């Protein structure tokens, strides 16, 4: 009789769990987000993280979602994860200012700071194009200008008004289009090959080769930022080939970082 009673209790628990899961699944993303915000305000950070990450897994993302995830991890003293989500929030216009303030605060809390080499001018330009215009928009803009240039060039054959200036303007537009399209392809290449990553564990060794018995390059600590070469990393499961902010290159286990 006792075994039968336990089986019934277990069955009821399974049914209850299924009912709760179904109830959450039927909630709108906004309802889940509001529920997560309530958990955050009440100090239930782990529960809030679970709800926020459910939305992230469904690709229902926003600057506010990433900002609040960063706040949750900051309150839990997981500063690497906090930095990762604040960086993601900084790419949204509505949360950019708040995220940058939060990043400044978090950066000052890390016990170890990495040396940072200044970015090269073309790296700064490429980052600006990636985050403010985008490779696709560059390509579209370049194609539009190219078509205008071709149209002007054809027009100068049939129009008697200032054909020389029309031809010159066509050459300028075509040249500008080539530069923009080239920038678009280069930006797309950079987007596909490289990503920014944040160290989310306390400490990790950076190795010369993708194996822990190779020569040691450096040590990395929570909050360090890397540039990940995805092409090289894809050939070595479990490892990421990175450029550290101090200019050194090496390999680290991929489970030690979060890639933006």
Residue 113 lies in a domain: no
Give the separation between CA 133 and CA 138, rounded to whole angstroms: 7
Residue 18: predicted pLDDT: 52
Residue 163 lies in a domain: yes
Quote the tokens at residue 127: 């980052």
**Residue 25 and residue 64 share a domain:** yes
The more confident residue out of 55 and 118 is 55
Cβ pair 40, 68 in contact under 8 A = yes
Of 85, 107, 129, which closes a domain? 107
Residue 159: predicted pLDDT: 75
Specify the residue for token string 């979060």. Answer: 258
Of 135, 169, 193, which closes a domain? 193
Q: Is the pLDDT of residue 5 over 70?
A: no
Give the separation between CA 14 and CA 23, rounded to whole angstroms: 14
Taking CA atoms, 193 is separated from 49, 231, 241, in Å, by: 30, 6, 11
**Residue 174 and residue 242 share a domain:** no
Pairs from 239-248 (Cβ < 8 Å, separation ≥ 24) = 239/210, 240/197, 241/210, 242/197, 242/206, 244/114, 244/206, 244/218, 244/220, 245/114, 245/115, 245/116, 245/117, 246/114, 246/115, 246/116, 246/117, 246/218, 247/117, 248/206, 248/217, 248/218
The more confident residue out of 155 and 2 is 155
Tens-digit pLDDT profile for residues 202-216: 999 999 999 888 899
Please state the domain count of the chain. Answer: 3
Tens-digit pLDDT profile for residues 70-84: 999 999 999 999 999
Residue 71 lies in a domain: yes
Residue 198's H or E segment, with its range, is: strand 194-199
Average pLDDT score, the chain: 87
31: exposed, middle or buried (Cβ count in 10 Å: 0-12, 13-18, 19+): exposed
Number of H helices, E strands in the chain: 10, 7
Specify the residue for token string 């940058």. Answer: 100
**Residue 39 and residue 135 share a domain:** no
Q: Is the pLDDT of residue 249 over 80?
A: yes
Of 169, 193, 217, which closes a domain? 193
Residue 25: predicted pLDDT: 52
Residues linked to residue 227 through DSSP beta bridges, in sequence order: 196, 243
* pTM of the predicted protein model: 0.77
At 13, the pLDDT band (50, 70, 90 cuts) reads very low
Nearest to 52 by CA among 75, 41, 39, 257: 39
**Residue 10 and residue 103 share a domain:** yes
**Residue 208 and residue 188 share a domain:** no
Residue 185 lies in a domain: yes
**Residue 79 and residue 125 share a domain:** no
CATH number for 31: 1.25.40.10
Q: Is the pLDDT of residue 241 over 60?
A: yes
- Phi, psi angles (nearest 5°) of residue 160: -85, -10
Residue 22: predicted pLDDT: 54
Taking CA atoms, 142 is separated from 139, 146, 175, 178, in Å, by: 5, 6, 10, 7
Domain that holds residue 177: 121-193
Residue 114 lies in a domain: no
Q: Is the pLDDT of residue 153 over 80?
A: yes
Residue 12: predicted pLDDT: 52
Residue 112 lies in a domain: no
Tens-digit pLDDT profile for residues 24-64: 555 788 899 999 999 999 999 999 999 999 999 998 889 99
Q: Is the pLDDT of residue 4 over 60?
A: no
Residue 181 lies in a domain: yes
**Residue 134 and residue 60 share a domain:** no
Nearest to 81 by CA among 56, 98, 63, 106: 106
Q: Is the pLDDT of residue 252 over 90?
A: yes
**Residue 224 and residue 169 share a domain:** no
**Residue 56 and residue 16 share a domain:** yes
Tens-digit pLDDT profile for residues 183-239: 999 999 998 999 999 999 999 999 999 988 889 999 999 999 999 999 999 989 999
Rounded to an integer, the average pLDDT of 100-107 is 94
**Residue 201 and residue 183 share a domain:** no
Tens-digit pLDDT profile for residues 89-100: 998 989 999 999
Taking CA atoms, 73 is separated from 66, 76, 127, 255, in Å, by: 11, 5, 27, 18
Residues linked to residue 225 through DSSP beta bridges, in sequence order: 198
**Residue 181 and residue 128 share a domain:** yes
Residue 80 lies in a domain: yes
**Residue 93 and residue 14 share a domain:** yes
């Amino acid at each position: 009789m006792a075994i039968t009673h336990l089986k019934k209790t277990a069955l009821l628990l399974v049914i209850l769990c299924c009912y709760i899961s179904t109830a959450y699944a039927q909630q709108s993303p906004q309802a889940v987000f509001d529920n997560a915000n309530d958990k955050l305000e009440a100090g239930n950070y782990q529960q809030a993280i679970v709800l926020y990450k459910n939305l992230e897994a469904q690709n229902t993302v926003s600057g506010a979602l990433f900002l609040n995830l960063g706040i949750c991890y900051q309150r839990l003293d997981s500063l690497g994860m906090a930095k990762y989500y604040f960086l993601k929030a900084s790419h949204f216009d509505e949360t950019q200012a708040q995220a940058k303030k939060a990043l400044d605060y978090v950066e000052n809390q890390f016990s170890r700071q990495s040396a940072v080499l200044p970015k090269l001018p073309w790296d700064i330009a490429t980052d600006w194009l990636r985050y403010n215009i985008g490779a696709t928009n560059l390509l579209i803009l370049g194609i539009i200008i190219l078509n205008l240039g071709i149209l002007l060039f054809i027009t100068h054959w049939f129009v008697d008004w200032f054909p020389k200036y029309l031809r010159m303007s066509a050459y300028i537009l075509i040249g500008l289009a080539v530069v923009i399209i080239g920038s678009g392809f280069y930006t797309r290449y950079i987007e596909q090959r490289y990503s920014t990553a944040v160290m989310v564990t306390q400490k990790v060794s950076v190795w010369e080769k993708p194996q822990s018995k190779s020569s040691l390059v450096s040590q990395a600590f929570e909050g360090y930022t890397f540039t990940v070469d995805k092409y090289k990393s894809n050939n070595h499961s479990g490892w990421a080939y990175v450029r550290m902010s101090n200019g050194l290159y090496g390999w680290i286990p991929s489970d030690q970082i979060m890639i933006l």
